[in-house]
Amino acid sequence: MKTLQKFGGFAALYMALAHLMGLIIFIVVLDYISITDLAQKVAINVDNQAVVFSTNLLMYVFFGFFLIVLSLALFDRLKSGAPAMMQMATAIGIIWAGSLIASGMVANAALTSVVALNAADPTQAALTWQAIEPVIDGLGNANGEILGGLMTLLVSLAGFRAGGLPKGLNILGLVVGAVGIISLAPLLTGTLGPVFGLGQIVWFVWMGIVLLRSYPGETATNELLSAA
């Protein structure tokens, strides 16, 4: 369906923007990634509650819903040429979306609780955050981009088989997907995780433009009309 392709294109562009904004806020503005002290982590969350809450919504919760739309749009586009592969990619994409939505919801629920607890007992607030943060990170794939890597890889392989995506986009997707999968290795997560994130931003932007500008059915129809 052409309408679904358009929605998928807008979803991909939103995901690229949300991912970029999240990286800028957490890494550049708040410098949260480099902080290891629990008390400092809690202090950042308390002092920037509105910013952190909003970023979690944009980068995880809303991102997850848009990811479902993109997954369905890609399935619709590539299913005729690679049905089994796209079934796997779509299932993984929806699982990934659910994981990200859960991560954002848990993070914001924990944020509200820790902010309230910190006013009465900062030590207990730090211990609570220490207990909940690994859950948030696990759901958000901070320990390795296996779900995003697999989805990107499978979509790119299906793109080669079905011919519904530009070759360059498929090659980029293979590289980005492989990096995401390899980032699951503990010694490589910190290095390859950001590489995957930046690479997928480019992949999302390119994918969004492709979905908004073309539809496979239109190409096939035009070729038939030209031949006639």
pLDDT bin (cut points 50, 70, 90) of residue 8 is very high
* DSSP annotation string for the chain: -HHHHHHHHHHHHHHHHHHHHHHIIIIIIS--TT---HHHHHHHHHHTHHHHHHHHIIIIIHHHHHHHHHHHHHHHHHTTT-HHHHHHHHHHHHHHHHHHHHHHHHHHHHHHHHHHHHHH-HHHHHHHHHHHHHHHHHHTTTT--HHHHHHHHHHHHHHHHH--S-HHHHHHHHHHHHHHHHTTSTTTHHHHHHHHHHHHHHHHHHHHHHHHH--HHHHHHHHHHHH-
pLDDT at position 219 is 45
For the chain, the domain total comes to 1
Mean pLDDT throughout 188-206?
Answer: 92
Report whether 68 contacts 94 (CB < 8 A): yes
Q: What's the average model confidence in pLDDT over 175-192?
A: 91
Q: What is the pLDDT of residue 133?
A: 92
The span from the CA of 64 to the CA of 147, in Å, is: 12
Instruction: Determine, yes or no, domain membership for 173.
Output: no
The mean pLDDT of 99-128, rounded to a whole number, is 93
Residue 31 lies in a domain: yes
pLDDT at 225 over 60: no
pLDDT of residue 142: 86
pLDDT the model gives residue 37: 86
Task: Check whether 220 has a pLDDT greater than 70.
Answer: no
Determine the average pLDDT of the residues in 85-102.
97
Q: Indicate whether 161 belongs to any domain.
A: no
Does residue 162 have a pLDDT over 50? yes
Mean pLDDT of 38-43: 90
Q: Can you give the pLDDT at residue 68?
A: 97
Has residue 193 been placed in a domain? no
Contact call for residues 171 and 216 (beta carbons, < 8 A): no
Dist CA 87 CA 83 (whole Å)? 6
Share of the chain above pLDDT 90, in %: 76
Flag whether pLDDT at 221 surpasses 80: no
Looking at the chain, how many residues does it have?
228
- What are the CA-CA distances from residue 89 to residues 5, 54, 79, 205, 217 (Å)? 17, 29, 10, 19, 21
- How sure is the predictor about 51, in pLDDT bands with cuts at 50, 70 and 90? very high
Q: Which two tokens stand for residue 192?
A: 């390859």
**Best-predicted range by mean pLDDT (23-27, 139-143, 204-208):** 204-208
Residue 157 lies in a domain: no
154 falls within a domain: no
Is 87 inside any structural domain?
A: yes
Q: Flag whether 228 is in a domain.
A: no
CA angle 103, 77, 200 (to 5 degrees): 40
pLDDT at 218 over 70: no
Question: Confidence band (pLDDT; 50, 70, 90) for 106?
Answer: very high
Segments forming the whole domain that contains residue 129: 2-141+205-220
The pLDDT of residue 32: 84
CA–CA gap between residue 53 and residue 112 (Å, rounded): 9
Q: Give me the mean pLDDT over the 37-65 stretch.
A: 93
- For the chain, the average pLDDT equals 90
